Structure formats: C-alpha cells, structure tokens
Structure 1
Amino acid sequence: MGILEGKRILVAGVTMDSSIGFATAKVAQEQGATVLISNFGRALGITRRIAKRLPVEPPVLELDVTDPEHLAGLEAQVREHVDGLDGVVHSIAYGNPETLLGGRFLDGPWDDVAQAVQVSAYSLKSLATATRPLLDRGSSIVGLTFDATVAWPAYDWMGVAKAGLESCSRYLARDLGPDGIRVNLVSAGPLKTLAAKAIPGFERLEQTWEDRAPLGWDNADQDPTARAVVALLSDFFPATTGEIVHVDGGFHAMGA
C-alpha cells in the first residue's frame, strides 16, 4: 500500500514529461493516488498527449490560474471526476525570458513583472482559494520554488516572483491552518525542465551545483523532487506547514 492510497490529487501545471509536475503525478499514482492534471491554451494539447505516458491516464482539466472564470469553474470540473481533493500541487511559473531573465533585472518592464508575479506567486493563493471547497481537514497544498533567499545569476525577476511565492505560502499556511489545510513548498536544485531551458545562462547554476552539492546533483532526475512533494501530500507530515523543504543535494546548507 502506498502513502497516498485512496487520496485524490490535483497537479496543476503539467506540460512536458520532463517537468516536475509530470514526475509528481507519476510518483503520486505509484503511491496509490487518483490524479488529475491541468494546463491551458496551446499547451493543453501537449498535456493531453503526455498524460498517456503516466501509469494511469488521468483526466486533464483546462485551467488558466489567471482567468477568474477558469478558477470559478474549477470545483465543478474536479467534481466531474472525483468528489473532493486531498491534495493540490502548484507546479506553475512564468516570466518572459526576453525581458525578465538573463541579466535584464534593471530593465524589466512592469507589465512583464506583474505577469510573472501573478502567474508564479499570486496564483498559489488563487489555486488555494479555488480548491478550498474541495479540501477537508488533513489536506495538503504543495508548491515548487527555487531558493529565493539570495540573488542568482540569470534568474532576475523570477527570483523576485519566487520570493513572493515563498511569502504567499506562509500567509496561506496561517490562514488555512485553522481549516486543517497544510501549505508547504519544495525548493529543488536546478533541473533540466522546459522552464529552465528558457532561462539564458542557466547552465551557470547547473555548474555551481555540480561543484558544491555534497550529495551531488543530477539535473536530469526529477524523481527526488517529486518524492518530496508526494511525502508532503501524504499523512506523514501532519503538523508541518509554512515550511520549505530543500531537495538540492544539500547545496543550500553549504558556505563558500
């Protein structure tokens, strides 16, 4: 019996089979969960195709977390397949790589910054409130971040957006805690995902991890991160909320 046996999990933001969201959906299914995944727009067709590569093909929901109509209709969409949720995974982030990343911090235009903050940080709150009627005591919301306590090469305004995400998770933990809903984040090291490929100069971060992570770091292996997400979705962390769990080979704990 797996640690998510009988649980119903929504993984929001699954595009490619190289994504953390896809890996999380796979591990969650292997651990006994009924999984739903989501995407929107032109990427929705890709998500429907790669869904067939999971152990069990899950329902694919259309969800743009910046669209109030999509958020308002999410509960009904979910209830077409399951009668509630035990866990929600926020695997969503976007920042225009042409204006916000790769050393463009001082020139980033507000419209693009606002979009990055809404998609990458505010959407955690949007997704939490949209799914709140589906969640009971003991439920878990887990998001994905990239350590926002320091400034990284090339990451620029996405670093600011992730800092907003991390703060948002703590306030959600405060406000949803009385309902018995946990909110945590997993901070992964650099992984070769679609999002990473869009960041000019991201290879500099990858090299840094190779040099300094005491456990080593495989930037092509999403499984350790997915396992951490699934662990936080399970009942094995009943009193943990507002936390950021690092899955980075120990890099975050090392000095120069």
Structure 2
Amino acid sequence: MSGILAGKRVLVTGVLMESSIAFHAARLAQEQGAEVVLTGYGRLGLVERVARRLPRPAPLVELDVRDTAQLDSLADRIRKCAGGDTRLDGVVHSIAFAPQDALGGDFMATGWDSVATALEVSAYSLKALAMACLPLMKERGGAIVGLDFDARIAWPAYDWMGVAKAALEATSRYVARDLGPRDIRCNLVAAGPVKTMAARHIPGFDTFREVWETRAPLGWDLADPEPAARAVVALLSDWFPRTTGEIVHVDGGVHAVGA
C-alpha cells in the first residue's frame, strides 16, 4: 500500500470516540499505509466499537498508563498481536485527564492529590509510554507524537490541565533529548479546541469557541478534528526526519495573534 506511512506500524492511544483527534489520526495513518495498533483503558468495548469504523481492522491492547505492570508488558503484548514482529515505528500519545476539582476556575483550591493525578496521567505518561515502547523502537528509531493544547498562557477554567499541558511540553523536550541518539523523534501537535468527549468535561468550554471565532486568521471548526490529525500523521512520517522537541500549532493561527 502506498502513502507516507507505508510499511510502518503505529500505536495510537486515546481512541474513545469517532470525534476524537486520535481516531482520525488512526484512520489517516491507515489510509497512508500504516498498520495501526490501538490501546484502550477502561471502556474497551466502546473502543472496539469505534475501531470498527476505521478503514481496516486494528488490534486493541489494554493500557492504563498508571499501571506499571501493564506498561512493563506493553511491548510483549504488541508483539503478540503483531504476530511476533518486534517493530514499532510510531506512537501517538493522546492521553489526558484531570479530576473535576482541578478544572472550572477554582485553581487555588485544588488539592495535591488531584493535581498529582492530572500531572501523572497527562504529562508523565508521555515518558512512561515512550519507555514502554522503546524495546520495539530502539533498533530502527521512529516517531512519538503527543497531543497538546497551547500552554503558554493561562486559559479560563482550564486550570491544572493547563499546568499539566505545560509539563507535557517540557516532558516532550526531555524525551526528544534523551531518545534522539536512538533516532527517535518526539514532537507535539498543539491543536485548537475540538468538541470531543474530553472537552465536554471542561467547564467553560464555550469560552474557547468565542476566542477561536474572533481570533483565528484561518478560521476554525470545532467539529473538525482532521487538521490536527493530519499534522500527527505528517510528524509520524519520514518527511520530518530531523525535527524533534517541536510543538506544531494547528489552531487556525490563534497562537500567533494578540487580542
């Protein structure tokens, strides 16, 4: 099969709904020639149903990024579903979570337990996932791409998830530094707001709609995850062979303009 990912195997996390960027990244990766393996956490039946809407079947492995045993066994479980093949060329990190008390505008009242959960799941997991997949990538190299939301400023209601995204950005740079000698790139796609399941749990999400409607030079469609997914697939490909530690903004240009 032809395409910019022809002959590659890519692991995609975070495919929970058809509206998610991760789903469209998996779809486009398949359309561009990749073999895709999915991970799911908790609602595996839902992930299986959504996966059936992809162009081709994609095996599913369970992964809780807070479970050391599942991380330690991830490479072996991917090998098993790939018929013993030890190769993995790309990883998509689309994992983020913050308890409800860490969102919504009461930033100063959030306790450490909730903050720690947001940081572990949303930022530390990038490093944890990279290390779990390293046994399958260390011989040929590859690309890790994470999904981000611009963390340079304090957004209304985003609160500790904004801090977690800032930590994700820093983590990506350090992963890029440490895995670069193995020819493994690590980059992020900072996407504009998309109406996903995760977005529904962010109080004040409509504020983002107003910002993007008035400030995006290229315009922005909150119902269209494909622009961000295309950037993910491009960064997984060989077309960015010496780009690492980068944040690619796919937000209609909002990051570049003032009020």
TM-score when normalising by structure 1 = 0.98
5+ residue gaps in structure 1?
Answer: none
Alignment of 1:121-200 (within 5 A): 121-135=123-137, 136-200=139-203
- Following the alignment from structure 1 to structure 2, what is the Cα–Cα distance between the partners of residues 209 and 232? 24
Q: Identify which of 103, 106, 128 aligns with 2:105.
A: 103
Q: Structure 1, residues 189-232: CA drift from partner, whole Å, max 9, x if none? A: 01001111100101101111011100000010010100000000
Q: Structure 1, residues 89-134: CA drift from partner, whole Å, max 9, x if none? A: 000000012x011102111111111001000000000000000010
- Following the alignment from structure 2 to structure 1, what is the Cα–Cα distance between the partners of residues 140 and 35? 18
- Following the alignment from structure 1 to structure 2, what is the Cα–Cα distance between the partners of residues 186 and 108? 28
Match of 1:255 in 2: 258
Match of 2:79 in 1: 79
1:31 matched to 2:32: yes
> How many correspondences in the alignment?
254
- Following the alignment from structure 1 to structure 2, what is the Cα–Cα distance between the partners of residues 13 and 77? 17
1:51 matched to 2:54: no
1:113 matched to 2:104: no
Contact kept in structure 2, 1:44 and 1:62, CA below 8 Å: yes
- Following the alignment from structure 2 to structure 1, what is the Cα–Cα distance between the partners of residues 147 and 8? 20
1:219 corresponds to which letter in structure 2? L
Match of 1:227 in 2: 230
Q: Structure 1, residues 130-176: CA drift from partner, whole Å, max 9, x if none? A: 00010144400000010001000110000000000000000000000
- Following the alignment from structure 2 to structure 1, what is the Cα–Cα distance between the partners of residues 50 and 172? 29
Contact kept in structure 2, 1:138 and 1:238, CA below 8 Å: no
Alpha-carbon shift at residue 12 of structure 1 (Å): 1.3
- Following the alignment from structure 2 to structure 1, what is the Cα–Cα distance between the partners of residues 4 and 141? 14
- Following the alignment from structure 1 to structure 2, what is the Cα–Cα distance between the partners of residues 220 and 34? 26
Match of 1:210 in 2: 213
Identity %: 63
Alpha-carbon shift at residue 45 of structure 1 (Å): 1.3
1:38 match: secondary structure: strand
5+ residue gaps in structure 2?
Answer: none
Alpha-carbon shift at residue 4 of structure 1 (Å): 0.3
1:93 match: secondary structure: coil
1:93 matched to 2:96: yes
Contact kept in structure 2, 1:12 and 1:39, CA below 8 Å: yes
Q: Structure 1, residues 47-92: CA drift from partner, whole Å, max 9, x if none? A: 0111101101200110001100000110111001332200000000
- Following the alignment from structure 1 to structure 2, what is the Cα–Cα distance between the partners of residues 189 and 205? 9
CA RMSD between the two structures: 0.8
Contact kept in structure 2, 1:138 and 1:235, CA below 8 Å: no
1:245 corresponds to which letter in structure 2? V
Moved over 3 A (4+): none
- Following the alignment from structure 1 to structure 2, what is the Cα–Cα distance between the partners of residues 20 and 32? 18
1:151 match: secondary structure: coil
